[in-house]
């Protein structure tokens, strides 16, 4: 089985976005398309030669075909060993865990996360380095540059491997080990959280929860951890079988796409706790009885209560949040006397801070929370963290959050998404805002005084690398903010994200409706960015 060299030509547009390369399945199915990108990974990551590579994905349509192709190319490119999740399955956080545990040189994860799956939907690929985290911008730019000059790739002529049976096989000179996708991850969770306390909570019979795996990758993980190890009643995990098309839904754990679960936490006979995760298992949504925890608040609550969790009982070294995430965590960091960092959107920006132990916890407003236990955000980890808190504090989710607000104040927060907008119109809208920025400070908008206005730029405190044009921020006196940026994960046109935040210290005003409380800011954003005239949209497609 000698490696063969196949001639190819560059494709336009293989630049990874916020989290890897995401395109329609049909785009990936073009001859040489996936091969080119995979070869660009091998050409720019020389340590993979002779090293170990972790491979797995979220089980979406084209997952298995892609994995077979990647394994053949890995063998031809001199990878010594590939670790593959059984059935081609690995959640994003589990892949990160396995890269770290087995000291692999990197991993390739196949996922388009919360984007829908199926022959006409989305596929994605991303590379994670030896620390287990998403490739840095420097690395993804190098991969992209390579895709633009590529003229050959290496592969093997070989039949497909059986990925459904654990154990060792060979492919050319490469060893392939098919591993249990859940075991190592479950062991890590058991080492971090108080499983006894959570077990007892379930045993009381007074606490009812459901975990919605949304027919995506976390099903097997949640069944093993929640039902088998923690003794939650059978049926606690709903939609637990991973399907290539996620049952036709968006595997996106938010109030818009996880309707079934949301309904179960409302009204008569409501559950005490509801949680959901996304396509690749790195996002989480936390619900209490008639109560939704905004992801920004979740990060702040976890930071304030970390000492109640065995894995973090010694305290946290610092926290980081992505720029559009609300400033709730900043207030906790201040009280705890630890550092707080504001990074650009995307988990790759947390990696250096985690590696340098400057932070222990980090999170994003987009339903992403995580810690130094892996180098990805981690959906089930966040769910277990919350269960640990509920068990220890003997309070409901709502009580925990309300008490948090009384102590730190409340950051009302929402995100409005305008999806599949014309790309040129979206770019023009952002340009228009950038031109306005210098004249905004000091101005009154809708009765609020602008304190600062800029296009967010970030200098990594560890390696000094600089990332510019990361989103327009308009901050008002008193802590309110409007942030606008374009998504880097979509596959169709542009998605405009408008993030709105208002700080309220007075506990008597902590029970307002979020959209109502933020209305003045919503109106300012619409007007300032000329959203309706420029995009033709009277309102957002998704509100979270
Ligand atoms: C979105 C989120 C961002 C997240 C990214 C990947 O990016 O806003 O916070 O890191 O998705 O998450 P964008 O560029 O579309 O706003 V996942 O679960 O899709 O890997
Ligand atoms: Co995801």
Decide if 358 contacts 351 (C-beta within 8 A): no
Give exposure, 68-105, as e/b (b: 16+ Cβ within 10 Å): bbbbbbbbbbbbbbbbbbbbbbbbbbbbbbbbbbeebb
CA distance 249 to 261: 13
Query: Distance (Å, rounded) from C-alpha 367 to C-alpha 277?
Result: 9
Contact in structure between 504 and 409 (CB atoms under 8 Å): yes
Model pTM score: 0.95
CB 109 within 8 A of CB 81: no
Q: Whose CA is nearest to atom 18 of ligand 1?
A: 113
25 near 122, Cβ under 8 Å?
yes
Quote the pLDDT of residue 491. 79
* DSSP three-state, residue 13: coil
Contact (Cβ atoms closer than 8 angstroms) between residue 484 and residue 324: no
DSSP states along 462-505: TT--EE----EEEEETTS-EEEEEE-SS-SSSEEEEEEEEEEE-
Give ligand 1 pocket residues (Cβ under 6 A). 18-19, 113-114, 278, 282-283, 322, 345-347, 364, 366, 368, 487-489, 497
What is the position in ligand 1's atom list of the atom closest to the CA of 115?
19
Which ligand has an atom closest to residue 128 CA? Answer: 1
**In contact, 488 and 346? CB cutoff 8 Å:** yes
Which of 383, 293, 319 is CA-nearest to residue 93? 383
Please tell me the number of the ligand nearest to residue 91's CA: 2
Query: Of residues 91, 113, 136, 480, which has the active-site annotation?
Result: 113
- C-alpha–C-alpha distance, residues 481 and 494, integer Å: 23
Atom of ligand 1 nearest to the CA of 18: 14
- Nearest residue (CA) to ligand 1, atom 8: 366
* Dist CA 14 CA 217 (whole Å): 25
Q: What is the pLDDT of residue 33?
A: 98
How far apart (Å, rounded) are the C-alpha atoms in residues 355 and 99?
14
Alpha-carbon distance of 163 to 140, in angstroms, equals 28
| DSSP summary character for residue 12 | T
DSSP code at position 134? B
User: Which of 154, 156, 177, 153 has the alpha carbon at shortest distance from 166?
Assistant: 177
With tokens 């839904």, the residue in question is: 249
Q: How far apart are alpha carbons 435 and 219 in whole angstroms?
A: 47
- Report how far ligand 1's centroid is from the alpha carbon of 113 (Å): 8
Q: How far apart are CA 541 and CA 228, in angstroms?
A: 39
| Selection from 132, 122, 66, 59 nearest residue 94 by Cα | 132
| Alpha-carbon gap, residue 2 to 154, rounded angstroms | 10
Find out whether 490 and 417 touch, Cβ atoms under 8 Å: no
- Residue matched to tokens 């770290």: 100
Nearest ligand, CA of residue 296?
1
- In this predicted structure, what is the pLDDT of residue 160? 96
Question: Which ligand 1 atom is nearest residue 345's CA?
Answer: 9
Whole-angstrom distance, CA of residue 350 vs CA of residue 467: 13
pLDDT number for residue 237: 98
Nearest C-alpha neighbor of 176 from the set 34, 47, 56, 32: 56
Could you identify the atom of ligand 1 that is nearest to the CA of residue 282? 18
Alpha carbons 388 and 197: distance in angstroms, whole number: 7
Query: What's the confidence (pLDDT) of residue 490?
Result: 77
* 113: annotated active-site residue: yes
CA of 327 from ligand 1 middle (Å) equals: 18
CA of 93 to the centre of ligand 2 (A): 9
Cα distances from 177 to residues 80, 142, 220, 242, in angstroms, run 11, 29, 20, 22
DSSP state of 105: S
List beta partners, residue 226.
none
Residue 318 · residue 358 · CB < 8 Å: yes
pLDDT in tens, the chain (544 residues): 778 999 999 999 999 998 899 999 999 999 999 999 999 999 999 999 999 999 999 999 999 999 999 999 999 999 999 999 999 999 999 999 999 999 999 999 999 999 999 999 999 999 999 999 999 989 999 999 999 999 999 999 999 999 999 999 999 999 999 999 999 999 999 999 999 999 999 999 899 999 999 999 999 999 999 999 999 999 999 999 999 999 999 999 999 899 999 999 999 899 999 999 999 999 999 999 999 999 999 999 999 999 999 999 999 999 999 999 999 999 999 999 999 999 999 999 999 999 999 999 999 999 999 999 999 999 999 999 999 999 999 999 999 999 999 999 999 999 999 999 999 999 999 999 999 999 999 999 988 999 999 999 999 999 999 999 999 999 999 899 999 999 988 778 899 999 999 999 999 999 999 999 999 999 999 999 999 999 999 999 999 9
User: How many angstroms is it from 18 CA to the middle of ligand 1?
Assistant: 6
Residues in a beta bridge with 174: 171
């Amino acid at each position: 089985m000698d490696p063969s060299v196949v001639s190819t030509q560059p494709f336009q547009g293989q630049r990874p976005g916020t989290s890897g390369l995401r395109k329609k399945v049909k785009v990936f199915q073009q001859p040489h398309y996936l091969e080119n990108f995979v070869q660009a990974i091998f050409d720019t990551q020389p340590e993979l030669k002779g090293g170990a590579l972790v491979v797995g994905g979220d089980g979406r349509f084209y997952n298995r075909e892609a994995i077979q192709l990647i394994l053949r190319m890995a063998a031809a490119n001199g990878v010594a060993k590939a670790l593959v999740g059984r059935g081609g399955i690995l959640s994003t956080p589990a892949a990160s865990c396995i890269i770290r545990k087995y000291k692999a040189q990197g991993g390739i994860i196949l996922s388009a996360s919360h984007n829908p799956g199926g022959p006409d939907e989305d596929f994605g690929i991303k590379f994670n380095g030896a620390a287990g985290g998403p490739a840095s911008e420097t690395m993804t730019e190098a991969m992209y540059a390579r895709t633009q000059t590529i003229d050959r790739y290496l592969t093997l002529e070989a039949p497909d491997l059986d990925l459904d049976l654990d154990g060792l096989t060979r492919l050319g000179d490469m060893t392939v080990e098919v591993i249990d996708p859940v075991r190592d991850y479950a062991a890590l969770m058991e080492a971090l959280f108080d499983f006894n306390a959570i077990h007892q909570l379930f045993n009381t019979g007074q606490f009812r929860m459901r975990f919605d795996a949304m027919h995506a990758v976390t099903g097997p993980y949640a069944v093993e951890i929640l039902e088998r190890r923690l003794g939650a009643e059978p049926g606690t995990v709903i939609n637990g079988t991973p399907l290539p098309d996620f049952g036709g839904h968006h595997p996106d754990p938010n109030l818009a796409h996880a309707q079934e679960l949301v309904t179960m936490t409302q009204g008569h006979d409501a559950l005490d706790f509801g949680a959901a995760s996304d396509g690749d298992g790195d996002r989480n949504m936390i619900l209490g009885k008639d109560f939704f925890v905004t992801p920004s608040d979740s990060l702040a609550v976890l930071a304030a209560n970390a000492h109640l969790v065995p894995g973090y009982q010694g305290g946290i070294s610092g926290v980081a949040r992505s720029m559009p995430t609300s400033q709730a965590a900043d207030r906790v960091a201040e009280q705890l006397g630890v550092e707080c960092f504001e990074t650009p959107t995307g988990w790759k920006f947390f990696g250096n801070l985690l590696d340098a132990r400057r932070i222990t916890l980090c999170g994003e407003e987009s339903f992403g929370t995580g810690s130094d236990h892996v180098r990805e955000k981690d959906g089930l980890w966040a769910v277990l963290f919350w269960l640990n808190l509920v068990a220890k504090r003997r309070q409901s989710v709502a009580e925990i959050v309300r008490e948090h607000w009384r102590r730190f104040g409340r950051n009302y927060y929402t995100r409005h998404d305008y999806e599949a907008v014309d790309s040129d119109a979206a770019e023009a809208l952002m340009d228009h805002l950038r031109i306005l920025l210098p004249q905004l400070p000091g101005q009154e908008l809708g009765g609020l005084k602008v304190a600062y206005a800029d296009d967010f730029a970030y200098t990594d405190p560890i390696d000094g690398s600089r990332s510019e044009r990361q989103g327009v921020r308009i901050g008002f006196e008193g802590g309110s903010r409007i942030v606008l940026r374009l998504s880097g994960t979509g596959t169709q046109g542009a998605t405009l994200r408008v993030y709105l935040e208002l700080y309220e210290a007075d506990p008597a005003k902590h029970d307002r409706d979020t959209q109502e409380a933020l209305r003045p800011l919503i109106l300012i954003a619409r007007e300032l960015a000329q959203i309706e005239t420029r995009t033709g949209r009277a309102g957002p497609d998704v509100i979270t």
